[in-house]
Amino acid sequence: MRIVLFHSRGRGVARNKREIHSLACVMPPLGIASIAAVLRKSGHKVVLFDAALKPALPNDSWAKTIVHSAPDMAGFSATTAGFYDAYDVCRQIKERDPAIQTVFGGVHVSWGKARILERFPAIDYVVAGEGEYAMQKLAGNEPPGTIEGLYYRDGDQIKSGPGQTTLCTMDDLPFPAYDLLEGFPKSYLMPLFGYPRHPGATIISSRGCVYRCSYCDRSVFHKSFRNNSAEYTVEQMRRLNRDYNVRHVNFYDDLFTLNPKRVARLCELIVKHGLKMSFNCIVRTGHIDKELIGMLKSAGCWMVNVGIESGDQRILDENKEGLSTEQIRTDIEMLHNSGLWVKGLFMMGFPGETEESIIQTREFALSLPLKDANITAFTPFPGAPVYKEIRKYGWFDDDWSKMDCEQFVFVPREIGSKDILEKHYRKFIADFYQRPAMRRIYRTMLLQSPHSYWRLVKNAAAFLRYARQIER
């Protein structure tokens, strides 16, 4: 079977932001790259298109390109914000060639299941859960009613296979089909000032999370957690280095350090094989100690991202399972003192949030030894625990296309105005980055991350336009 896989842009109505995002960070779609690898291993011809690489290309052009490829099946992966873009391409494909089978997967449709088929008639199948095995069976012409996690049309009825998709055995999967990603690795960009060496690549070496935060959509993995072995992961790094000259890896795992023995073994193997590669990872407070940090650093870890979310313990208790401000401070100071660069991840606009709690979070961030920060808008995704009752806590704009974690689609009752949230967002950014300490840090970055400076200078006009937009 000939199969086209399509990854939508990932943002809906915020089209004016696409230019800056395509310059600041473009991550490879590893989910469909993994599905592509499994399908290809099963003997199918697979083509992969990533719209994130060409954010200005209109949907009708993508539809024409896909139809011109003459696929038997077109598979779509989309975030909540990018779903309408993906569906628009799907609809136009069906209008041009109704014989092409269309399949949607990913976290958004894993929440929607049959509701997606009811509302969007151009979609033939929905895969709820992990996609590798279900797509392999569907492409292999197994009866739809026998495929776990599959929702499908049978005449005027919508039916489903038995239960959720079977969770993949991680080490049994082939490496993602990086070679199907146009221009990889140089067409994909690490976050600015988030890497010392170029080119870089992303690896996801575990799936799932054992915690249950109020805003996290767990529709695909539920409360499972699995990881690749250290041996599998280091071989993946070696292949990326050998085949693509990748020199830096961004581990995009939710809980990279949950299994300390695996991390220790991975660090040991990186050193043993003499891999001259640096890497970043996300760490969760409470899952690190000095010994583990020492191993990470000896193996080439350069930056760690820490999910902090809020500096108000009340907000953390209600939304982020098992996190305390005391533990956050202790762990970040320990990471900083080891010489690692530490980036804090924050969120604004939680249910129950007040201006006072936002100010407390900002002051908490300024008091920590952070080299960088990222702040996002609290977003109650449809599959998140908080979604069903979110209107009890304030105003909510239930528009999927705006759920990009940048637009405030929810405003807490205690704040009452999106303008107030946006004012505090701008002040957080200004107070954090305009400090004299940050100027010194970014002068150091000139030596630590020279490729980032080259990107910044090359695209200075676009970044200045975005800065003025933020100020306005």
What CATH number is attached to the domain comprising 419? 3.80.30.20
Is 198 within a domain?
A: yes
- My answer on whether 397 and 452 are in the same domain is yes
Please indicate, yes or no, if residue 201 is contained in any of the structural domains: yes
* 151 lies in the same domain as 200: no
Compute the average pLDDT of residues 329-338: 96
pLDDT at 17: 55
Task: Show which of 160, 182, 214 is a domain's final residue.
Answer: 160
User: What is the reported pLDDT for 56?
Assistant: 87
Neighbours of 140 (CB within 10 A): 13
Q: Distance from CA of residue 177 to its chain's centroid?
A: 18
- Whether 71 is in a domain gets the answer yes
* 3-state SS string for 103-130: EEECHHHHHHCHHHHHHCCCCCEEECCC
CB count within 10 Å of CB 291 equals 10
Is 123 in the same domain as 272?
A: no
Domain total in the chain: 2
Which of 160, 182, 201 terminates a domain? The answer is: 160
For residue 375, the surrounding DSSP H or E stretch is strand 372-377
Residues 114 and 210 both lie in one domain: no
Tell me the per-residue pLDDT of 250-287, one tens digit each, with 9 for 90 and over. 999 988 999 999 999 999 999 999 998 999 999 988 88
Q: Is the residue at 170 inside a domain? A: no
Q: Give me the chain's average pLDDT, please.
A: 92
Q: Is 445 found in the same domain as 341?
A: yes
Average pLDDT over residues 353-361: 98
* Within-domain flag for 166: no
Has residue 245 been placed in a domain? yes
Strand partners, 47: 4
- In a shared domain, residues 103 and 220: no
Which helix H or strand E contains 315, and what residues bound it? Answer: helix 313-319
Query: Is the bond leading into 199 cis (omega within 30 degrees of zero)?
Result: yes
Is residue 316 a part of any domain in this protein? Answer: yes
**How is 67-111 classified by DSSP, letter by letter?**
HHT--SEEEEE--TTTHHHHHHHHHHHHHH-TTSEEEEESHHHHH
Q: How do residues 281-332 score in pLDDT, each as one tens digit? A: 999 888 889 999 999 999 999 999 999 999 999 999 999 878 899 999 999 9
Beta strands in 90-236 (DSSP E): 101-105, 125-127, 150-154, 157-160, 200-203, 206-208, 225-227
With respect to residue 167, please indicate whether it lies within any of the assigned structural domains: no
- The answer on pLDDT for 410 being more than 80 is yes
Residue 9 belongs to domain with CATH number: 3.40.50.280
Instruction: Answer yes or no: do 115 and 223 share one domain.
Output: no
Looking at residue 289, what is its pLDDT? 92
51 and 113 together in one domain: yes
The answer on 240 and 108 residing in a single domain is: no
- Domain assignment of residue 393, given as a range: 190-471
Same domain, 65 and 147: yes
